């Protein structure tokens, strides 16, 4: 297919217009979703996302700056499948297969299921492809406030994403689903507590066990954890826990430190905590709709960078456990 790309003028996005050519059909992209028959709803294909979601390169300083632009899906025959295939060919630089692979990143950044995008939809695309995944991070690559923390975990509810820092350097980032409006994930400063590879949610309805994998608790009193779970592309929808894709959940499970028990310290329901686990902060407000990774008010979209606190201890303690160890350290905000 011959592609005629109409470049943007002023603040108008690029429109992808396929010219008339002999008709041919390609199967729509299925790589970013699968269907749960019981709910007839599309969910992220977590195995496919594992292809692009990795730990950050140790050479963060060398990652180039990435800029973004708009692309609007269009097809003169009003055919969504052809419009998507034209989009794949554009971002794949004339190669549909390459474009399909790159659309995994587009879908993740736009929090869209690529099978569901249609004519008239606007997508934000990067100007550089096939970089280290952390080049596209909405979290700062370096965080001065985290220098004194061997490990620090951040959840930002406004863009529904997470980041892990090691001595102030971004180690990995990914996406989340936090609690819905009736079961909001609490903001504050916490620590990872206990963990287990498998658990059935206490909120499971009769006859429908909600199975969670790579479970890591951070609010003991409310039973709030991070864990793997089927994830749609939208915003907050859990019962307070933080859902992760499988690859991320496994990595965090092995990366973060759990609490250490001893004879003196903070008394929990599981025993006496002598040393808390990895520090975790939950920041940001729940988005009113689907989360957005981009600011779209200007002529060109810009990555919606997360604003981290000057220091993690500036975030109020989330539970009595943090208050106890703040007193021990003398680090109360």
Which of these, 283, 195, 201, lies nearest to 240 by C-alpha position? Answer: 201
H or E stretch covering 303 = strand 302-303
Q: Distance between CA atoms of 248 and 246, rounded to whole angstroms? A: 5
- pLDDT recorded at residue 209: 75
Domain coordinates in residue numbering, the chain = 3-33+49-134, 137-329
Cβ contacts of 321 within 8 Å, gap of 6 or more: 191, 193, 220, 266, 268, 273, 276
List phi, psi (to 5°) of 260. -115, 125
β-bridge mates for residue 138, sequence order? none
pLDDT in tens, the chain (333 residues): 323 333 333 333 444 443 333 333 333 333 333 443 333 346 778 888 888 999 999 999 999 999 999 999 999 999 999 999 999 999 999 999 999 999 999 999 999 889 889 999 999 999 999 999 999 999 999 999 999 999 999 999 999 999 999 999 999 999 999 988 888 999 999 999 999 998 887 766 687 777 888 999 999 988 899 998 887 667 788 878 999 999 999 999 999 999 999 999 999 999 999 999 999 999 999 998 888 889 887 789 999 999 999 999 999 999 999 999 999 998 765
CATH class of 137-329: mainly beta
Cβ contacts of 229 within 8 Å, gap of 6 or more: 177, 210, 212, 213, 238, 241, 243, 244
- The model carries a pTM of 0.85
């Amino acid at each position: 297919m011959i592609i005629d790309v109409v470049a943007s003028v002023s603040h108008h996005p690029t429109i992808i217009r396929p010219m008339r050519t002999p008709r041919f059909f390609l199967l729509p992209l299925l790589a970013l979703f699968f269907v749960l028959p019981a709910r007839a709803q599309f969910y992220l294909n977590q195995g496919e996302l594992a292809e692009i979601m990795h730990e950050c390169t140790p050479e963060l300083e060398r990652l180039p700056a990435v800029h973004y632009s708009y692309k609007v899906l269009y097809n003169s025959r009003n055919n969504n499948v052809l419009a998507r295939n034209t989009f794949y060919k554009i971002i794949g630089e004339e190669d549909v297969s390459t474009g399909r692979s790159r659309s995994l990143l587009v879908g993740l950044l736009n929090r869209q299921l690529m099978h569901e995008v249609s004519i008239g939809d606007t997508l934000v695309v990067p100007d550089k492809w096939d970089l280290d995944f952390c080049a596209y991070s909405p979290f700062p690559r370096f965080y001065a406030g985290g220098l004194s923390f061997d490990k620090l975990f951040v959840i930002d509810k406004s863009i529904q994403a997470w980041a892990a820092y090691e001595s102030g350097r971004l180690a990995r980032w990914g996406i989340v689903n936090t609690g819905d409006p009736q079961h909001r994930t609490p903001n504050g400063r916490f620590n990872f507590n206990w963990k287990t590879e498998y658990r059935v949610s206490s909120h499971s309805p009769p006859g429908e066990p909600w199975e969670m994998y790579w479970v890591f608790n951070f609010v003991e009193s409310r039973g709030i954890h991070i864990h793997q779970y089927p994830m749609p592309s939208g915003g907050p929808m859990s019962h307070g826990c933080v859902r992760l894709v499988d690859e991320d959940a496994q990595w965090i499970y092995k990366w973060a430190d759990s609490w250490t028990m001893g004879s003196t310290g903070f008394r929990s329901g599981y025993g006496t905590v002598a040393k808390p686990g990895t520090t975790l902060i939950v920041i940001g407000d729940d988005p009113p709709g689907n989360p957005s990774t981009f600011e779209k008010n200007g002529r060109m979209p810009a990555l919606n960078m997360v604003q981290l606190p000057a220091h993690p201890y500036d975030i109020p303690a989330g539970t009595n456990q943090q208050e106890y160890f703040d007193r021990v350290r003398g680090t109360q905000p």
